[in-house]
Amino acid sequence: MKALILAGSDTGCRENLALALREVRKRFPVIAVSHPVRSRPWSGKGADYLNAALIIETDLAPGEIVSSLREIEAMAGRKRGPEAKGVPLDLDLMALEGFRGQAGRHVLPRDELLRPYALVPAAEIAPDLRINESGPGLRELASGKGASLHGILPLCGPVPEGFPS
């Protein structure tokens, strides 16, 4: 089955997204990779983020996928908790083909897909994915947002290694 992963970083963005893609490819067949997008942090505080979406093929359960993603985050120096400074790498399972429901502390597909930093790259590679079974697909949501995709910024500098330019 296919899984949609969102990758993001606000610290060492290009290097950490490149590391993420290399490491994900070691663990899973990668079916699709979006262009990276630059965005302001959702909290309004801190450095800009680089985000991208990936589709992988897997037979693992949601918890096993998340565990593998956490290992990759740790390789980039990701720390969680109040003492954490910045986000070197964030890898989130956003959706899993044929699965709707609770997966750990999140419900899949995740509502965060409605946020521009996730919606734009996810819609590029999973345009027909629906957050709500009877709702519009991601492509329709992204095109309907138009000018309200605030927070998405022009990409500055080189694209991370392995991502489309």
- Whether 105 maps to a domain, the answer reads yes
> What is the structure's pLDDT at 142?
85
Number of domains in the chain: 1
User: Which band of pLDDT confidence, cut at 50, 70 and 90, is reported for residue 84?
Assistant: low
- Whether 135 maps to a domain, the answer reads yes
Region of poorest pLDDT, from 20-24, 47-51, 140-144: 140-144
- Whether 164 maps to a domain, the answer reads no
> What is the structure's pLDDT at 59?
96
Nearest to 19 by CA among 71, 57, 94: 71
Which residue range is the domain that position 43 belongs to? 2-153
> What is the structure's pLDDT at 147?
40
- Whether 123 maps to a domain, the answer reads yes
Specify the pTM: 0.92
User: Which band of pLDDT confidence, cut at 50, 70 and 90, is reported for residue 155?
Assistant: confident
Average pLDDT over residues 24-29: 98
> Does pLDDT of 42 surpass 80?
no
> Does pLDDT of 31 surpass 90?
yes
> What is the structure's pLDDT at 60?
96
> Does pLDDT of 145 surpass 80?
no
- Whether 159 maps to a domain, the answer reads no
Compute the half-sphere exposure of residue 37: CA atoms within 13 Å on the CB side of its CA. Answer: 23
User: Which band of pLDDT confidence, cut at 50, 70 and 90, is reported for residue 148?
Assistant: low
Region of poorest pLDDT, from 19-28, 109-118, 137-146: 137-146
- Whether 70 maps to a domain, the answer reads yes
> What is the structure's pLDDT at 150?
62
Q: What is the CATH number of the domain that holds 82?
A: 3.30.70.560
Buried b / exposed e along 51-76 (16+ C-beta atoms within 10 A): bbbbbbebebebeebbebbeebbeeb
- Whether 69 maps to a domain, the answer reads yes
The letter for the amino acid at 140 is: E
Region of poorest pLDDT, from 57-61, 100-104, 141-145: 141-145
* Burial class of residue 136 (count of CB atoms within 10 Å of its CB; 0-12, 13-18, 19+): middle
> Does pLDDT of 162 surpass 90?
yes
Helix (H) or strand (E) holding 27: helix 13-27
- Whether 12 maps to a domain, the answer reads yes
